[in-house]
Chains A and B, each alone.
Chain A
Amino acid sequence: MELMKLLDCFGSLSCLTTQITSALILGMILFLVASGLSLIFGVLGVLNFAHGALYMLGAYFTYTLLSIHGNFGVIAILASIGVGVFGVILERVFIKRIYTSPLLYQLLLCYAFILILDDLAKLVWGYEFKSIGLPGAFRRPPLKIFGSFVPSYYVFIIIVGVVVALILWFFLSRTKLGKIIRATAHSSEMVGALGINVQLVYAGVFALGSFLAGLGGVLAGPVRSIYPGMGASVIIESFIVVVIGGLGSIGGAFIGAILIGLMRSFGIIGFPLIEESFVFILMAVVLILRPRGLCGKKES
């Protein structure tokens, strides 16, 4: 344990900045994936285990589209929408059939999708790991913030994450469509009785959740290795974020994701040896103290 180093870091502004930004980077990507997961669970009652595979598709779509057209910003949006569309197809063809099945069967179906999508990715894109490389606009020396260096691309990710969180919050709490979605989470029968097409809401929510996961993959693509099965690297942590934050709570997912990010970045300074299991210990602690998660009760 290197607790002295940890305390030193708290005392230094540049170190604090470095570690907090590092936490936010991981946190934002996790948040994007986890928020989609939480939304889908909150409204549809489905624990979409295949969410990691959607993240993977976001990265692969970006890889393919970039070879056709160079503008990263445009590609990012297109790829995410692509994943959203794919998600809707998945939902309409397969997932809607198991809404009334036991939870475990839903999980099994989603797990089966991971298997299929991972192998399809291997067939379509090959088994070698791929790399996208930083978009041209970000190939510049890191920005200096409070005495610490932060790569501009990471600042971009953090901004996107925060903006998405704000848009989601606004959308769900202030707009009519958002209210419909929240109402459906409470009681789909009521909403249906009011004359609203519940199936459309379900499809829309699944599209939104998939879009978010895809966006996570798109943003992570340039800085991580792309390979079939890369969803596994985010899915468990996303689940933990969702559980810690409280199932169905977007705000909780945001807090949970940041917490995990902070724990990793400060954890490495103070406890370089034990970090992999920390997330699980964190989840255990949260569940024992607050059995419904931090913001859990019902949805956002």
Chain B
Amino acid sequence: MKKTLGIGVIAVGILILFPSFYYSKFLINYLTQILILALFAVSLNLLVGYTGMISFGHAAYYGVGAYAVGILLQKYSTSLLGSLGLAVVLAALTAVIIGFFCIRLGEIYFAMLTMAFAQIVYTIVVKWTPMTGGDQGLIGGIPKPPISFLGLTIDIGNPLSFYFFTVVLVIGSFVVCKVIVDSPFGAILKTIRDNSLRTYFIGLPVKAYQLIIFTIAGAFAGLAGALMALFISGAYPDFTYWTKSAEPIFMILVGGMGSLLGPIVGAAILNLLTAYITMYTHLYELIMGTVLVIFILSLKKGIADHFMEKEIFKNWSSHFIKRVRGGRERGSAKID
């Protein structure tokens, strides 16, 4: 834990100090966005990479976080930190409710049910026009009142301060996530990922662990959503649509699901690629698609995993396929 904390502090330090040496509005902008998306991806990887739970509906909590912070600041003029905190709590609450129903299923059905619930959240957001602005979303900008913290007044209205704010919150979240996965709790998550039946037979309440990590993942996704809403000064129904849930999945796949670094790398690379490709052509889909095909066929695992030579998912995924297709099992355990 000390090591993690140390790395976290150093990272924060580097990120906060370097603009004094090389200041580029564009770079600050870009980093802020990457950090937020990386947080979203990391939160999902707590489920996918560490616990073996594939969620296709993670955008629901991201969206709840975004809308909550937006509505609270726009309509109720609450304090910034208070709104942020409440947004995270609401996202976690949504995750616990949805998680409760989804946990009962396995694998692919779990994934589809999480997606179904996310679409329900989307529908509520789109239809509840008086509160959420309906399909237009929260337009008109989200105010960012100055924060009074420990006697200091911090105004995050300008891009640089917002960037610092984001750095602290996001790196802080990464540290917390790393502590979680390195702890005994995290070890149990990994055993659940590798073989949930045996874990159950050891006497551990598998479903309880799954629900807890689902909620934690939802909370961090909510934080990411809230930060994004503040960053672009708005919250839109797109934030909860299933295509948004696919984005962190791609980041995890490209970056690697074996670690927390993987999704961060994935977020950075995918965003860089997207920005670059759209600068030069309208055929973004063709180029991105081709890049992905080449990547998948040659690498077959995430980039970070490659460097770290992690093959953790090999065992886990062949179990997955067998369980879903039913049929004969030979030696490997079956769930449900």
Contact check, B288 vs A115: say whether CB atoms are below 8 A apart.
Answer: yes
Interface residues in B203-251 by Cβ distance below 8 A to A read 242, 246, 249-250
Contact check, A104 vs B249: say whether CB atoms are below 8 A apart.
Answer: yes
Minimal beta-carbon separation of B252 from chain A (angstroms): 8
Known: A103-B317, A103-B321, A108-B253. A247 touches B292 (CB 8 A): no
Contact pattern, A 124-156, Cβ under 8 Å of B = 1, otherwise 0: 000000000000000000000000000000000
Contact check, B283 vs A119: say whether CB atoms are below 8 A apart.
Answer: yes
**Among all A-B residue pairs, the 5 with the closest Cβ atoms:** A115-B289, A102-B317, A119-B286, A116-B289, A277-B123
Interface residues in B292-309 by Cβ distance below 8 A to A read 292-293, 296-297, 300-301
Contact check, B119 vs A277: say whether CB atoms are below 8 A apart.
Answer: yes
Interface size for B (C-beta < 8 A) is 49
Residues of B within 8 A of A280 (CB): 115-116, 119-120, 123
Residues of A within 8 A of B164 (CB): none
B325 within 8 A of partner (CB):
yes
- Give the interface segment out of A57-65, A219-227, A285-293: A285-293
Chain B positions within 8 Å of A, measured between CB atoms, are: 48, 54, 101, 104-106, 108-109, 112-113, 115-117, 119-120, 122-123, 127, 242, 246, 249-250, 253, 283-286, 288-290, 292-293, 296-297, 300-301, 313-314, 316-318, 320-321, 324-328, 336
Residues of B within 8 A of A108 (CB): 249-250, 253, 292, 296
Minimal beta-carbon separation of A33 from chain B (angstroms): 17
- Give the interface segment out of A15-23, A72-80, A93-101, A166-174: A93-101
Minimal beta-carbon separation of B297 from chain A (angstroms): 6
Residues of A within 8 A of B113 (CB): 283-284, 287-288
Residues of B within 8 A of A112 (CB): 288-290, 292-293, 296
Residue of A with least CB distance to B318 = A100
Known: A291-B109, A291-B336. A185 touches B325 (CB 8 A): yes
Helix, strand, loop or mixed for chain A's interface?
helix
Contact pattern, A 220-255, Cβ under 8 Å of B = 1, otherwise 0: 000000000000000010011001000110000000
A187 within 8 A of partner (CB):
yes
Interface residues in A244-300 by Cβ distance below 8 A to B read 247-248, 273-274, 276-277, 280-281, 283-284, 287-288, 291-293, 297-298
Residue of A with least CB distance to B293 = A112
Contact check, B326 vs A243: say whether CB atoms are below 8 A apart.
Answer: no
Q: How far is the CA of A262 from the CA of B37 in the complex (A)?
A: 40
Known: A114-B289, A119-B283. A185 touches B327 (CB 8 A): yes
Residue of B with least CB distance to A112 = B292
